Amino acid sequence: RIIQDRIIRPQYYPEILFNLFGDGKEQKRCVKALHDFTGNAILARKQMMDKAGGIQKMLEKKAEDGGGIRLALLDLMLDMHSRNEIDLEGIQEEVDTFTFEGHDTTSAALNW
């Protein structure tokens, strides 16, 4: 609703006006809740991976259990993090993008 209201009301296009008279505070609260959600998911998966002994140990356990060797994007990014190729902030940005950009695209399409 907040995005839709901002799109149809040109007076809220400037950030300062949106924050002053629009739903800027509500949008910030919602974005924080979304970041907290993805941050908690990342930390939970990282703890699970650390407890298992890394991605290789997780793959071996999956193979022993008869499961496939498919990895989620988050697992691959956490493996890159363990090799210092990406930081947790970068992982958070990627997870946020995959999680919420689909909703944003759908919302924008429905407006038109």
Residue 99 lies in a domain: yes
- Residue 14 domain-assigned? yes
Number of domains in the chain: 1
Domain of residue 15 covers: 2-104
Give pTM, 2 decimals.
Answer: 0.70
Q: Give the H or E element holding residue 95.
A: helix 88-111
| DSSP structure class, residue 65 | T
For residue 111, being part of any structural domain is answered with: no
Query: Which pLDDT tens digit goes with each residue over 61-95?
Result: 777 777 666 778 888 899 899 889 999 999 999 99
The 10s digit of each residue's pLDDT in 34-60 is: 899 999 999 999 998 888 888 777 777
